[in-house]
C-alpha cells in the first residue's frame, strides 16, 4: 500500500542553523501538508500546499519557514534559522482530490535544536 515517507527520521541541529525536512507524498495525491507535534502536545497545522502554492498557513509558519515542491515527488519544509522552540516531531501529510479530507501522514522527522 502506498505511504508517505519522510527523511531524515531524526535531525539534530544547532540553534540558528538551517534545516530541510523532506517528504515524498503518495504519488497520486495533490494536496500536501506539514504539521508539527511538540512533545506531549497536540498535533498542530503548519501549512498546506496545492497546485504549487501555499493555500493556507498557520501563525506558527512565519518568515523562517518555507515549503517547496522542487520536483514531481518531493515536498520539503525549510526552517532558515532554527530556534530551541522549533524542537518537535514534524509530520508531512498528503491527500488526493476527492470528496473527503482524508489525510495520510508520514512517520515524522524528530527535530532537536540544541
Partner 1 sequence: TQLLEQSPQFLSIQEGENLTVYCNSSSVFSSLQWYRQEPGEGPVLLVTVVTGGEVKKLKRLTFQFGDARKDSSLHITAAQPGDTGLYLCAGARDNQGGKLIFGQGTELSVKP
Question: Which residues contribute to the site for partner 1 (CB under 8 A)?
Answer: 4, 6, 31, 33, 35, 41-45, 48, 50, 55-56, 58, 89, 91, 93, 95, 99-108, 110
Q: How far is the CB of 86 from partner 1 (least distance, A)?
A: 18
Count helices and strands in the chain by DSSP H and E runs: 0, 11
CA distance 25 to 93: 7
Nearer of residues 17 and 76 to partner 1, judged by Cβ: 76
Nearer of residues 15 and 43 to partner 1, judged by Cβ: 43
To 10 degrees, the CA torsion angle through 76, 77, 78, 83? -150
Amino acid at each position: 500500500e502506498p505511504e508517505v515517507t519522510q527523511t531524515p527520521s531524526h535531525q539534530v541541529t544547532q540553534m540558528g542553523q538551517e534545516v530541510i525536512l523532506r517528504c515524498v507524498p503518495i504519488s497520486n495525491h495533490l494536496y500536501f501538508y506539514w504539521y508539527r507535534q511538540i512533545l506531549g502536545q497536540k498535533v498542530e497545522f503548519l501549512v498546506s500546499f496545492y497546485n504549487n502554492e501555499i493555500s493556507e498557513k498557520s501563525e506558527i509558519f512565519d518568515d523562517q519557514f518555507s515549503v517547496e515542491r522542487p520536483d514531481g515527488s518531493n515536498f520539503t519544509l525549510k526552517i532558515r534559522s532554527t530556534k530551541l522552540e522549533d524542537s518537535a516531531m514534524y509530520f508531512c501529510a498528503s491527500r488526493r482530490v476527492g470528496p473527503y479530507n482524508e489525510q495520510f501522514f508520514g512517520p515524522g522527522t524528530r527535530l532537536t535544536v540544541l
